[in-house]
Amino acid sequence: MKTFIQLVIVGYFYVFSFSSFNQVKCADFDENFLFGVATSAYQVEGGWNEDGKGENIWDYITHKTNLIMDNSTGDIACDSYHKFKEDVFLLKSLGVKFYRFSISWSRLLPNGTAPNGIWSANPYAVEYYKQLIDELIANNIIPMVTLYHFDMPLPMAQYGGFQNERIVRDFENYADVVFKLYGHKVKHWFTINEPNSCCEIDVLMASVLQTEYVGNHGLIYMCTRNLLLAHASVYRLYQKKYKWKYYGNVALVIDSNYFQAGSDCDDDLKAAERYRQFMIGKWGHPIYIGDFPSVMKEYVANASRAQGLTTSKLPVFTEKEVNLIRGTNDYYAMNYYTSRLVFFNDTLNEDSLQSDAQVFVTVDPKWKQSPTQPLIYVVPEAIRKSLRFIRDEYRNPTIMVTENGYGDKGEFDDRDRINYFNDHLKQMVLSMNEDNVKIIGYTAWSFMDNFEWTNGYLSKFGLYSVDFNSSARPRYEKDSAVYYRKLIETKTIPDLDDNSENRC
Ligand code: NOJ
């Protein structure tokens, strides 16, 4: 009898532990986890001058400079301005829960400004985005909308873009028009995509257009200040006028690549921590804690003094501004692509972030580099480090991974992209299960091949391929689309080396 009971207990233990083991192994993500894909307006829409769209900086760069590697333009791009129904059909067949796309500011407001509120909006653009949003909703796909994804209207760039505080009101007025038009349908808003990249583009545009700011010290810091104020003003606007009736979320999409120490020596550990504050903390600290990180204030002030300046290049926020910006993220929206190694270095003496932070930034020669996007080295374990950094710095906020992806030449059997996704997803699951990081969603960049900024069409990030030589711009599924569809279906990260169909 005793042995029988013992058997029952042991049997129960096995059944129980096996079933829970299976649960963990079979579904890495729960039912509510959001899987989606992303694009941005200039990269996919085309229709650059159709139906009254105004000119933006990428129209200008592609038409008037030779900064694009293959001399291409986004004039037609993927032609999503005309093919959005087919896009939504493919999204549906992919099984994504959401689609993250952006609104083209200069399509909606051809001059960038909205003196008459929604009456200043271009009716064709109003209709285009309405139809896109409706088509997504009709197909049960959540629209997630970015207000600004690198495509500044030319008039704003001409007055200095983010160098000029005027951008804050103009951006707020634009956002107000968008919220008024689509606020009842869209519940996920992103104000600005990748502020670090935005400020690099802002500085580039100042020199392309030879604005009055060229030659000023600390352009990146002025951009940082005004961009934060623009983001925060839009967050506050939504909070005041729309949140009570629409209950949506608003967040800044922070480029959160991870800067790790190049060695264990104290100077390098501190240098890496400092540079993380320069690159992520510059946005996260004002938003989650208040004001710029103190180490950044100290180092920029010292560097400014060494450059013979009488005031710091880092602007000072008033108390009112600190309070305006603090608390303006409903969740942490994170883009992650790559990592870098950081060493202490105080020999540079130039007007750059690395010089001000006294760091030297490099890569590990063992890291695999994207063949077409030289900035991307594949370092999956660093997404977990970045997630942990965000958890520790900002009191464990809810995180949404808003971009992650890999550039190649456009192969259909895109093994490297699949491996990239798989390895990053594994690290994310470790973060959730072992580091107690709260992640609500993951976004693959990109839905389809598109105009990759200065790389033109040489670097492809899509799950779908687009034939840019055909005027019909047909889309074709790549292996990574098949992979992603299965991942979404099973909520399980496959073991890519194991060919057995069902590992559970
Ligand atoms: C991040 C940007 O948001 C996106 O526009 C770009 O295409 C990808 N990085 C890949 O470089």
Per-residue model confidence (pLDDT) at position 498 = 72
Amino acid at 289: I
The answer to whether 230 and 192 are in contact (CB under 8 A) is yes
Query: Measured in angstroms, how far is the CA atom of residue 266 from the centroid of ligand 1?
Result: 34
**24 band by pLDDT with thresholds 50, 70 and 90:** very low
Mutate to test the pocket of ligand 1, among 199, 334, 453 (most ligand atoms within 8 A of CB): 453
Per-residue model confidence (pLDDT) at position 422 = 98
Question: What number is the average pLDDT over the span 41-70?
Answer: 98
Helix (H, G, I), strand (E, B) or coil at 445: strand
The H or E element that residue 193 is part of is: strand 188-193
Per-residue model confidence (pLDDT) at position 11 = 47
Per-residue model confidence (pLDDT) at position 1 = 43
Residue nearest to atom 5 of ligand 1 (CA): 40
Assessment of whether the complete model's pTM goes beyond 0.85: yes
Q: Which atom of ligand 1 is nearest to the CA of 40?
A: 5
The H or E element that residue 368 is part of is: strand 368-369
Per-residue model confidence (pLDDT) at position 499 = 61
Ligand 1 contact, 394 CB (< 6 A): no
Query: Measured in angstroms, how far is the CA atom of residue 25 from the centroid of ligand 1?
Result: 32
Mutate to test the pocket of ligand 1, among 44, 45, 147, 194 (most ligand atoms within 8 A of CB): 194
Ligand 1 contact, 40 CB (< 6 A): yes
How many helices, marked H, and strands, marked E, lie in the chain?
19, 15
In sequence order, what are the residues at sequence separation of 6 or more whose Cβ sits closer than 8 angstroms to the Cβ of residue 392?
A: none
**Residue 145: how many CA atoms within 13 Å on its side-chain side?**
23
Residues serving a catalytic function are 194, 403
The H or E element that residue 325 is part of is: helix 319-325
The two tokens of residue 236 are: 């506050």
- Is the pLDDT at 9 greater than 60, yes or no? no
Amino acid at 138: A
The answer to whether 175 and 234 are in contact (CB under 8 A) is yes
Query: Measured in angstroms, how far is the CA atom of residue 347 from the centroid of ligand 1?
Result: 32
Could you give the CA distance from residue 390 to residue 393 in angstroms, rounded to a whole number? 5
**22 band by pLDDT with thresholds 50, 70 and 90:** very low
Could you give the CA distance from residue 136 to residue 155 in angstroms, rounded to a whole number? 32
- Render 478-502 in DSSP notation, one character per residue: -HHHHHHHHHHHH-----TT---S-
Could you give the CA distance from residue 198 to residue 161 in angstroms, rounded to a whole number? 10
Binning the chain into helix, strand and coil, the percentages to the nearest 5 are 50, 15, 35
Per-residue model confidence (pLDDT) at position 412 = 98
In this predicted model, what pLDDT tens digit does every residue of 181-236 receive, in sequence order?
999 999 999 999 999 999 999 999 999 999 999 999 999 999 999 999 999 999 99
The two tokens of residue 282 are: 């510059």
From residue 130, alpha-carbon distances to 32, 243, 380 in Å are 26, 20, 37
Ligand 1 contact, 452 CB (< 6 A): yes
Per-residue model confidence (pLDDT) at position 322 = 99
The two tokens of residue 499 are: 């060919």
In this predicted model, what pLDDT tens digit does every residue of 325-371 receive, in sequence order?
999 999 999 999 999 999 999 998 899 999 999 999 999 999 999 99
Mutate to test the pocket of ligand 1, among 37, 198, 403, 463 (most ligand atoms within 8 A of CB): 403
Q: Is the peptide bond before 446 cis (omega within 30 degrees of 0)?
A: yes
**21 band by pLDDT with thresholds 50, 70 and 90:** very low
DSSP for residue 346: -
For the chain, percent of residues with pLDDT exceeding 70: 94
Residue nearest to atom 10 of ligand 1 (CA): 452
In this predicted model, what pLDDT tens digit does every residue of 402-413 receive, in sequence order?
999 999 999 999
Query: Measured in angstroms, how far is the CA atom of residue 495 from the centroid of ligand 1?
Result: 28
Query: Measured in angstroms, how far is the CA atom of residue 120 from the centroid of ligand 1?
Result: 30
- Is the pLDDT at 470 greater than 80, yes or no? yes
Could you give the CA distance from residue 196 to residue 199 in angstroms, rounded to a whole number? 5
Q: Of 188, 483, 219, 439, nearest to 329 (Cα)?
A: 188
Torsion angle (degrees, nearest 10) of CA 410, 97, 396, 270: 10
Which CATH topology does 3-490 take? TIM Barrel (3.20.20)
Could you give the CA distance from residue 261 to residue 343 in angstroms, rounded to a whole number? 6
In this predicted model, what pLDDT tens digit does every residue of 155-195 receive, in sequence order?
999 999 999 999 999 999 999 999 999 999 999 999 999 99
Q: Which atom of ligand 1 is nearest to the CA of 373?
A: 11
Ligand 1 contact, 146 CB (< 6 A): no
Per-residue model confidence (pLDDT) at position 210 = 98
For the chain, percent of residues with pLDDT exceeding 90: 93
**6 band by pLDDT with thresholds 50, 70 and 90:** low
Helix (H, G, I), strand (E, B) or coil at 67: coil
Kind of pairing, strands 142-148 and 188-193?
parallel
